[in-house]
Amino acid sequence: MANITLTTLNKIKQNKEKFATLTAYDATFAHVVSTAGVEVILVGDSLGMVLQGNDSTLPATIEDMCYHTTCVAKGNQGSLIIADLPFMTFDTPANALKNAAKLMRAGAQVVKFEGGRWLCETVQQLSRNGIPSCVHLGLTPQSVNVFGGYKVQGREEQAAQTMLEDAKALEQAGASLFVLECVPSPLAQAITESVSVPVIGIGAGAATDSQVLVLHDMLGISPGKSPRFVKNFMAEADSIQAAIENYVAAVKSRTFPAAEHEFKA
């Protein structure tokens, strides 16, 4: 696979095709994921839960994120690497710039952070300094204590309109990508069609330009009950490589996510 860039992803969106995104946190899985056809690797602060055993993403630190981003970069074979800015590392544009620079030096090509239009100044600051932004909207796990749990966002008309306007404002500020998590499918479709940059969905229906899952979830090895939007791709595969290849094929053929993985308005 040729090296994937933001230009590649924009062309995929323009052609009304799909690309696959998956998390990875180490060199070995980065190699497997990138050679299975996954265009984007997300080094998510989800590592705080799936690797460290915490009950939320909040304990993950910038040092944790840099370490795992470095590991992923060493194993990666051409996928675009997005890395998360963890909890309270982007509270001001200055802090965001300092910590985003650490992730970029570690091997990230895009940094992701959670929030709404209040991040416009941060997006502009990073863009001026050559750092592309991916903004995470909808269910933002770092705000789990504000939401009172992991709940679908944007079901009420006003909340949906606010999220749509946030996306437009953030694109205008210079955001290169969006992630939409746990939002009703009609809203995700409206946002995807309203912005010119690629939108990655998780629990956001089939209309987004890409899908992302946590690697451990799609391999069926995460303990406890799986979220509604997860499919175990190991169930019908004889190897991890085959499971990931099946995930990529399902995303690109639009057979995943199916109706049972979506949230309605």
Active site residues: 181
Residue 57 CB contacts under 8 Å (≥ 6 apart), including other chains: 44, 45, 46, 48, 49, 86, 87, 141, 142, 144
User: Is 149 strand, coil or helix?
Assistant: coil
Ligand-binding annotation for 84, yes or no, is yes
d(CA 112, CA 42): 9
45 is in an annotated binding site: yes
Check the annotation: does 114 bind a ligand.
yes
Q: From the CB of residue 194, how many other CB atoms can be counted at a distance below 10 Å?
A: 13
The three-point CA angle 146-151-153 to 5° equals 90
3-state secondary structure of 156: coil
- The answer to the question of whether 112 is labelled as a binding residue is yes
143 is known to lie in a ligand binding site: no
Closest CA to 207 of 224, 194, 225: 194
Binding site feature residues: 45-46, 84, 112, 114
Provide the annotated binding site for Mg(2+).
45, 84, 114
